[in-house]
Amino acid sequence: MPGLPEVTVAATMVADPEIKYFDSGVCVANFTVAANDRKYDRDRGAWVDASATFLRCQIWRQEAENVVESLSKGDRVLVTGALKQRSWETEHGEKRSLMELAVTEIGASLKFATATVRKATRDTATGEPAAQPAGPPPF
């Protein structure tokens, strides 16, 4: 997406991603992440969280299915995409806008967790997940 700023955000998923399928078979997953700054408060002798910044995210097609199958509320993620502003007017005539991230890449953050990666395979005829062989996942 030429012209739009591309950003990478380290954040936490605030809810499970939601997926929607269209009649064409294409799907989209929507989710929200939150990031906040932490500062050390010398008077308290403890780390204090600043207010959170919430960012709505959208990812399409196979990647959307992978996100829904792999990530859930509370997971820390690294999200990269084009930052876009979406504006609309409410039924009462109020103008609203929000910043959205059109996600191009997403993955689990390994800062506080571990992950096991396995390649997603699909049955090309049905689009359904293919049966996984027993045993450890292939590399």
Q: Report the pLDDT averaged over residues 105-112.
A: 90
Domain covering 6-108: architecture? Beta Barrel (2.40)
Asked if the model's pLDDT at residue 132 lies above 70, the reply is no
Tokens of 8: 């990478």
14-to-1, 11, 30, 52, 122 alpha-carbon distances in Å: 26, 9, 12, 11, 28
pLDDT digits (tens, 9 = 90+) for 60-71: 999 999 999 999
Q: For residue range 2-44, what is the model confidence (pLDDT) as tens digits?
A: 677 889 999 999 999 999 999 999 999 999 999 988 888 888 8
**The whole model's pTM is what?**
0.74
State the first-to-last Cα distance of the chain, in angstroms, to the nearest integer. Answer: 32
Domains of the chain, by residue range, sit at 6-108
pLDDT of 139: 42
